[in-house]
Amino acid sequence: MKSFTGETLRWEWNEGVVHLTLDREPANEIGTAMLVELEKFVGAFDALAAETSVCIISSAKKHGFSAGADLRELYNGAASLSGGERVAGVRKFLERIHAVLNAIDAAPFVTIAAVHGICFGGGLELALACDIIIADKMARFAFPELRLGLIPGFGGIPRLKRDLGNAFVRDLLFTGRSVNATRAQAVGLVSQLAAEGEAVNVARSNAGQIKKFDAVARVAAKKFIKPIPHEELRREIDIFCDLFTRPAVMAALKKFVESTDAMPYLP
């Protein structure tokens, strides 16, 4: 399928580049609806592979790439369930989003996250599954999950550790702070900086260069240098589910969902 327009995202193929645009109000929160459409997207990879060199992922939303997991859906879906059912539901969702992100991580073409604005939690985890992150100068990155009594659940810790090492993981996790694009580039999270509003154009420029190279060598290089940390990803799901059983987590989610604080996204 070379093009698709859904409720939360769309993609279109043009001259060897498939461009996935996240487009869900208010800030591309990743819930079931987006998960279903992301599954459809990765399901198209086999058909796209032969004539695709690059995939660009970006956002149509003004506030940024993605605010992360849909915490309102998470809370509302879990609130009416018993403890066991609650964890089973969360585990099922995590298994599905991990399958999607593993597919993007191992995609048979080069994947570029073109980021602007906020790239938090699950949004950062989606970007981390990509090969290259290009950010405009107003982008911000964060793992705010600890404020809810959780850890990132979409593969963020193993992938950030794989790419950058543990020190920066600990900084983001334990402070919950968001870092700007300049800092993110300095630590190696962001490959290239773009002017405001220019991340997609810079990604397209990169795609033009990437397309010139031999596809077989590109795939071999990617398999060699970007192994998926499967064992740690499995452990991450287990730890997330263990933490999710605690009443304190539901209380924190409830507080977030019902918050009238002017700054609920700030850790």
Partner 1 sequence: MRNVEQTTQEVLELAAKHFQVPAGSLAADDDFFKKLGINSLQALELLSRLENHFGIELPDYEVQGVSDFRTLASRIQTRL
For 124, 132, 135, 201, 202, the CA distances from 138, given in Å and listed in that order, are 15, 18, 8, 15, 15
Q: Any idea which residue has 């998926």 for tokens? A: 228
The question of whether 232 is a catalytic residue gets the answer: no
Structure tokens at 26: 């208010």
Smallest gap from Cβ 178 to partner 1, in A, equals 5
Distance CA 149, CA 161 (A): 20
Nearer to partner 1, 31 or 64 (CB): 64
Nearer to partner 1, 64 or 108 (CB): 64
Catalytic annotation, pick one of 122, 123, 153, 156: 122
Q: What residues make contact with partner 1 under the rule CB under 8 A?
A: 27, 63-64, 67, 117-118, 137-140, 142, 175-183, 261-267
Helical (H) or strand (E) element with 134: strand 132-136
Spatial CA neighbour of 45 closest among 91, 85, 2: 2
Nearer to partner 1, 117 or 155 (CB): 117
Smallest gap from Cβ 27 to partner 1, in A, equals 7
Question: What proportions of the chain, in percent to the nearest 5, are helix, strand and coil?
Answer: 50, 20, 30
Catalytic annotation, pick one of 64, 125, 203, 236: 125
Smallest gap from Cβ 201 to partner 1, in A, equals 19
The question of whether 44 is a catalytic residue gets the answer: no
Nearer to partner 1, 100 or 133 (CB): 133
Catalytic annotation, pick one of 31, 145, 194, 203: 145
Smallest gap from Cβ 153 to partner 1, in A, equals 21
List, in sequence order, every residue forming a beta bridge with 120; answer none if it has no partner. Answer: 142
